[in-house]
Amino acid sequence: MQRAVEHRIGIQAPAELVWELVSDFSTWEHWNPVHPRAEGQLKIGTALTVHQALPGEPVRVIQPVVQDWVPYEQLHWRSTRLGGFVTAIRYIEIEN
């Protein structure tokens, strides 16, 4: 059984400005309450170190792998949990 959860927000700002914030992990604590800290390189196949802060749960460190990234357009990563039983794919997409 597959299950998908989708959440979208609209930001009225130029794509270049949004991409600068998304690609600069040092800014995440200022705008991303679910993933307030991230480290690593934006390179396909590379694992990132991301702190995940879900409401009511202790902060967890995950190591998603970059699946795709296109400057000023998108960042996609994939992580697995419970021995591969659960797969999460995160899409950050910027529309012009």
Beta partners for 80?
A: 87
- The answer to whether residue 67 is domain-embedded is yes
Report which of residues 4 and 73 the model is more confident about.
73
- The domain containing residue 71 runs over which residues? 15-93
- Residue 33 predicted with pLDDT over 90: yes
- The answer to whether residue 48 is domain-embedded is yes
Angle at 50 between CA 22 and CA 7, to 5 degrees: 60
60, two tokens = 């967890």
Query: What is the pLDDT, as a whole number, of residue 26?
Result: 96
- Residue 4 predicted with pLDDT over 70: no
- The answer to whether residue 21 is domain-embedded is yes
- Residue 2 predicted with pLDDT over 70: no
Segment 52-78 mean pLDDT: 94
Q: Provide the number of structural domains found in the chain.
A: 1
